Amino acid sequence: MTRSTDLIHHTYLPPAEFEAPQVGIFKASTVIFPNVAAMRTREWLDKSSYTYGLHGTPTTFTLEERLASLEGGTHCLLTPSGLASIAHVDLALLQAGDEVLIPDNAYSPNKALAEGELARFGIRHQFYDPMNPDDLAARLNERTRLVWLEAAGSVSMEFPDLVALVRLCKTRGVLCGLDNTWGAGLAFNAFDLTPGQGDAPLGVDLTIHALTKYPSGGGDVLMGSIVTRNDALAKTLKLSHMRLGTGVGANDVELLLRSLPSLPLRYRAQDLAARALAQWCTQQKEFVQVLHPALPGSPGHAHWQRLCVTPQEPQGLAAGIFSVVVDARFSTPAVDAFCDALTLFKIGYSWGGPMSLVVPYQLSAVRQLATPQLQAGRVVRLCIGLEDVQDLQHDLAQALLQLR
């Protein structure tokens, strides 16, 4: 054998027995079959074997199984981003003539996708008021095929009566999918929303999770997951996954596998810090409202309490993210100057990483329905990282001088 061939077909195989805290990282587009018969007969759909990198490797299967457990599901698929997971669900489950219902406070690109590509494909949509189950009930109709849910909502952080919304979908026989990024599988179990109540468990049909946020925890990976407990639904989603080709790279999966064990610790630490800062913000006269579901008086606080405060978690759990409504007498340039004056809080999207982030929002630009639960004023979202809480509080205090 020539050297060049030998470099590719070298016969040395390391001993199979190897164990370390981290699982091995397998990279492959091509998967090698021992013979043609194996190629013809191997199962493509489940995790019993390997066929092609896009369809799964030991590395992606491992992350999928861990995420399914985290969220209380049984099947998981990985996609290249949280938004790709939303798009994947829409494309796999909807067809022309169907309608999808989306909460008005959903992650905005979910709404933009409905207004763009879905509309172009003849898939209709309506935005509903997540804080009013009667509004969802009134909009459900014979075309409705999928209802998206989000708890808490994006930016304005309202916590809906998830149990009531899911029960409504079940009663009407409509699939419901939860964007579970905020809860991260820790704050509540989306697949068992009424634990220990004796009735048949009430849960969503599927979740999507922007792994980009907490599971990554580093601000350096884009990835999403789709989790379900429903075998038939899992198969539909998997078949679409094979046709759409939205797989993920092993290097990114490696980063996720590395940071997943510290997820509960990071979530808890960021929750504690965010609550302390949110509490402090309630005492600043420039802020007319602090939007954090664990704060009494914040929209949907009682719903958060009912779902997230349990005997095991007497303080409840919440993501380390909240918004403040700045008094309407402050102009957009003044609020922008407040954000610019922050030094530890960096200006940027995303959350769940080590660095605190700030984004000012023009809520009226992304909301179609009335928001009587929100005070008038400009909204600033704060995502709390892993810095010292006192340092972050000082940063907010010095930037507030810009407004005073």
Ligand X SMILES: *Cc1c(COP(=O)(O)O)cnc(C)c1O
| Contact residues for ligand X, defined by CB under 6 A | 81-83, 107, 154, 179, 181, 210, 212-213, 222, 224, 350
Helix (H) or strand (E) holding 255: helix 250-259
Nearest-CA neighbor of 94 among 74, 120, 73?
120
User: What token pair was written down for 48?
Assistant: 């019993």
Q: Which is nearer to ligand X, 157 or 400 (CB)?
A: 157
Residue 208 or residue 295: which is nearer to ligand X going by CB?
208
Separation of CA 381 from chain center: 17
CB of 208 to ligand X, least distance (A): 7
Nearer to ligand X by Cβ, of 350 and 393: the residue is: 350
205 vs 327 by CB, closer to ligand X: 205
* Closer to ligand X by Cβ: residue 82 or 286: 82
State whether residue 149 is helix, strand or coil: strand
Are 122 and 96 contacting, i.e. CB atoms less than 8 angstroms apart?
yes
**Least Cβ distance, residue 108 to ligand X (angstroms):** 9
DSSP for 77-108?
EEESSHHHHHHHHHHHH--TT-EEEEETTS-H
CB of 83 to ligand X, least distance (A): 3
User: Quick one: tokens of 242?
Assistant: 């094979």
Residue 42 three-state SS:
coil
> By C-beta, is 224 or 385 nearer to ligand X?
224
Question: Nearest distance from residue 210's CB to ligand X, in Å?
Answer: 3
Residue number closest to ligand X, CB atom? 82
CA distance 262 to 258: 8
Distance CA 56, CA 76 (A): 11
Contact 97, 69 (CB under 8 A): no
CA separation for the pair 93, 123 (Å, rounded):
11
The answer to whether 171 touches 144, Cβ cutoff 8 Å, is no
In this structure, are residues 383 and 352 in contact, taking their beta carbons and an 8 Å threshold?
yes
Q: Measured between alpha carbons, how far is 387 from 356 in angstroms, rounded to an integer?
A: 7
CB of 361 to ligand X, least distance (A): 13
Q: Please count the other Cβ atoms lying within 10 Å of the Cβ belonging to residue 226.
A: 30
Pick the closer one to ligand X by CB: 213 or 229. 213
Q: How buried is residue 404: exposed, middle or buried, by Cβ count under 10 Å (0-12/13-18/19+)? A: exposed
Q: For residue 326, give Cα distances in angstroms to 360, 366, 373.
A: 10, 18, 15
**Of residues 111 and 124, the one with the C-beta less far from ligand X:** 111
- The nearest distance, CB 41 to ligand X, in angstroms, is 36
CA–CA dist 68, 185 (Å, integer) = 9
Please state whether beta strands 124-128 and 144-150 pair in parallel, antiparallel, or not at all (unpaired).
unpaired
Rounded to a whole number of angstroms, the minimum distance from the CB of residue 4 to ligand X is 41
For the CB of residue 84, give the shortest distance to ligand X in the complex, in Å. 7
**Complex with ligand X: residue 50 or 345, whichever CB lies closer:** 345
Q: Which is nearer to ligand X, 145 or 209 (CB)?
A: 209
Q: What minimum distance in Å lies between the beta carbon of 159 and ligand X?
A: 13
Rounded Cα distance between 45 and 28, Å, is 17
Closest CB 275 distance from ligand X, rounded Å:
19
